Amino acid sequence: MSRKVILYILSLFISIISGLLFFGLGGYCIFIMNWSGGLWMNILNAVILLAIFTASVFVLHLSDLVRKKI
């Protein structure tokens, strides 16, 4: 397995764990609001999950580049 594949798997793992935390919070908010605005909470969770995944890929890729230069 190449380093890039390991990088993406690791970042996917990080984003899934943090996404589960956000989805858990979102589900709790939907339960409290009794489905009012529940769709927007799910859309917000999906956007947050995508942002965390992109950021973790970027950070891991950046640290890989720094390691190659050193």
pLDDT tens per residue, range 53-66: 777 777 777 777 77
pLDDT above 60 (res 18): yes
| Measured CA distances, 28 to 1, 15, 21, 33, 43 (Å) | 39, 20, 11, 9, 15
| Residue 34 domain boundaries | 3-69
The number of domains in the chain is 1
* Spatial separation of the C-alpha atoms in residues 21 and 50, rounded to whole Å: 14
pTM of the model: 0.46
